[in-house]
Structure 1
Amino acid sequence: MNEGARILVVEDDRALSAMLGELLLDEGYRVTTAHDGQRALHLALTETFDAVVLDRGLPILEGLDVLARWRRSGVSTPVLVLSALGNPADRVEGLDRGAEDYLTKPFDIDELLARIRALLRRHESTAATLVLPGGAVFIPSRRQVELGTGESVTLSERESALLEVLARDRNQVFERATLLRAAFPVAEEPGVVDTYVHYLRRKLGRGVITTVRGIGYRLGTS
């Protein structure tokens, strides 16, 4: 089911990174590696992955700092933290900072692979549809919103991209600059975000997106 999924491996131990890369390639995944936090931050902000395996003790930027920055920037890719820091407080911190799973080193290879498969299954099931305010359902792959009234609304590619960023982290308040980077890959003026928020409200109702004064936007009503 998950064959061909793209996985980012972030690990500064190059021998372990190479081993993980070979292991995942043998499982049929496509693998990209990063050996420091800055490179990892850049990759996940500019490319699309299905899952991330993330070490904590990274050069330049610590792993959980990288994860927190991803989440603030609207990156919702599921993350498995793989770390030698394994006491309960460390695991709780990792999960609270935005990780979906946490596995300590040394680890069992079969368990690691099973956890990655579970992560991808959960991601696949939640990626298919997203719930919007008022009981509407958004289907990103079809750029379609099924309203609570039974009516179906088709979005443009840019409308869909913007709504997906907001809907994948419905409690997050996004700055305009973050939405610009996440939803509009081609360089645009910042005002394009406001324009497409207007378009979405016109199609789906004003309550679909809230303006947070002085900051930006989030999904739903205030």
Structure 2
Amino acid sequence: MDTGQPRLLLVEDDGRLGPLLAEVLGDSYRVDLATDGQAGLHAGLTQTYEVMVIDRGLPVIDGVDLVRRLRDRAVTTPILILTARAAVADRVEGLDAGAEDYLVKPFEIDELLARLRALRRRSIDRATTLDLGRRRFDVAGRRVLDPDGNDPVDLSGQEAALLEVLARRPQQVFTRPDLLEAVFDPADDPGSVDTYVYYLRRKLGRECVQTVHGLGYRLGVA
């Protein structure tokens, strides 16, 4: 049942700390608790959260590697890493992987809550549209906006997901396997990528997605 609270993904394998944090954070958030990195990756890729709290020392997939995998698959949700490691090099590694904040154990719950509020404020303040060249992509609304005042172009969920991956890294060339993993299911037919590129081009024009022969696709100009 939707309580109207913001959703938070907590990835913590400690059998005592995880449930305790989930209970405390549950006063402010709708918390999903995952107890290993693989479960956290699945939740992060298949659900939508406003913030994530990820322990560094996780089984199956390490916390830093988990953050890196989420960022590689275009998940932009703000992430705070929890860790028992206080060394500067460890903090730098976590932040370089894509986390926005880092909190060393033991910590005060009030500080964790304050840091999460700050992450959410910064996230809300970020631009919600992406540049496509002449037009803009309204990510939340799944539509492309025309500066000339023409009607917006509405996109399906997978069309929007594909365009977002390309638009967030406009200089990067994505292979078909890259896009299959980021947008679809790795077990899907690789032709799904080409099909949805075709759909985007049909709606936005052939130049919206550029083919890089022998490599894959990158953002063009819409």
Q: Identify whether the pair has TM-score above 0.5, normalized to the shorter chain.
A: yes
Residue in 2 that maps onto 1:72? 72
Q: Does 1:197 align with 2:197?
A: yes
Tell me, in whole angstroms, the C-alpha distance in 2 between the residues paired with 1:104 and 1:170.
35
Amino acid at match of 2:153: T
SS, match of residue 111 in structure 2: helix
CA contact (8 A) 2:130 2:139 kept: no
Amino acid at match of 2:136: V
Deviating more after overlay: 60-69 vs 168-177: 168-177
CA contact (8 A) 1:91 1:102 kept: yes
CA contact (8 A) 2:143 2:155 kept: no
Residue in 1 that maps onto 2:56? 56
Deviation of residue 206 (structure 1)?
4.3
Deviating more after overlay: 167-176 vs 60-69: 167-176
Tell me, in whole angstroms, the C-alpha distance in 2 between the residues paired with 1:43 and 1:113.
22
Tell me, in whole angstroms, the C-alpha distance in 2 between the residues paired with 1:173 and 1:32.
34
Distance 1:98 1:120, change over 3 A: same
Tell me, in whole angstroms, the C-alpha distance in 1 between the residues paired with 2:188 and 2:77.
24
SS, match of residue 192 in structure 2: helix
1:154-165 mapped onto 2 (5 Å cutoff): 154-157=153-156, 158-165=158-165
Residue in 2 that maps onto 1:108? 108
Percent identity between the two aligned chains: 53
Amino acid at match of 1:59: P
Distance 1:87 1:150, change over 3 A: farther
Q: Does 1:90 align with 2:90?
A: yes
Amino acid at match of 2:139: P
5+ long unaligned stretches in structure 1: none
Tell me, in whole angstroms, the C-alpha distance in 1 between the residues paired with 2:67 and 2:82.
13
Tell me, in whole angstroms, the C-alpha distance in 1 between the residues paired with 2:88 and 2:159.
42
Tell me, in whole angstroms, the C-alpha distance in 2 between the residues paired with 1:47 and 1:109.
25
Distance 1:94 1:207, change over 3 A: farther
Tell me, in whole angstroms, the C-alpha distance in 2 between the residues paired with 1:220 and 1:88.
40
Tell me, in whole angstroms, the C-alpha distance in 1 between the residues paired with 2:22 and 2:154.
38
5+ long unaligned stretches in structure 2: none
Distance 1:58 1:142, change over 3 A: closer
Amino acid at match of 1:52: M
Deviation of residue 184 (structure 1)?
4.5
| Aligned residues: CA RMSD | 2.7
Deviation of residue 173 (structure 1)?
4.5
Deviation of residue 216 (structure 1)?
3.4
Deviation of residue 182 (structure 1)?
4.5
1:82-127 CA distance string (max 9 Å, x none): 111122221111111111111111222222111111222233343x
SS, match of residue 32 in structure 1: strand
- Whose helix fraction is larger, Structure 1's or Structure 2's? 1
Number of residues paired by the alignment?
A: 217
Tell me, in whole angstroms, the C-alpha distance in 2 between the residues paired with 1:114 and 1:173.
38
SS, match of residue 74 in structure 1: coil
Q: Does 1:130 align with 2:155?
A: no
Deviation of residue 212 (structure 1)?
4.3
Residue in 2 that maps onto 1:142? 141
Q: Normalising by structure 2, what TM-score?
A: 0.82
Amino acid at match of 2:83: S
Residue in 2 that maps onto 1:121? 121
SS, match of residue 210 in structure 1: strand
CA contact (8 A) 1:9 1:54 kept: yes
